[in-house]
Amino acid sequence: MDNKNAIMEAINNVEHPAIATSLVDLGMVRDVEYQPEDQGVTLTLALPVLSIPENVRDYMVNSLYLAIQDAGGELKGVNLAQMTDEDRQMFLQLEQENWRQ
């Protein structure tokens, strides 16, 4: 039996370090692929701009890695992408509404 549901729930619960909203709800986690044979996960992390600070990007990737690992899976790969203008506008609106003080 696989842990797909637990892994997907874990991914859904990972929040942005500066915004009190999940990466999924911010539109940052996409194209999640689960391989049941080895509990492996690959996904795309969509960034508002590709030039975000490396430490912020690495924090998000590490948070996803740990959440997936805690759920019994293994993050095998993360592809980086840049959000579309429409996606970026939604992200910026959620950022304003949920910015951590």
Distance, CA of 35 to CA of 28 (rounded, Å):
21
Distance, CA of 8 to CA of 34 (rounded, Å):
9
Distance, CA of 55 to CA of 96 (rounded, Å):
21
Let me know: does 46 contact 13? Beta carbons within 8 Å. no
pLDDT in tens, 77-94: 999 999 999 999 999 999
pLDDT in tens, 10-62: 999 999 999 999 999 999 999 999 999 999 999 999 999 999 999 999 999 99
Look at residues 27, 2, 36, 49 and name the one whose alpha carbon lies nearest to residue 12: 27
What domains can be seen in the chain, in order of their start residue? 4-98 (3.30.300.130)
Distance, CA of 57 to CA of 96 (rounded, Å):
19
Q: Which residue has the higher pLDDT, 100 or 74?
A: 74
Angle between helices 54-70 and 4-12 (to 10 degrees): 150
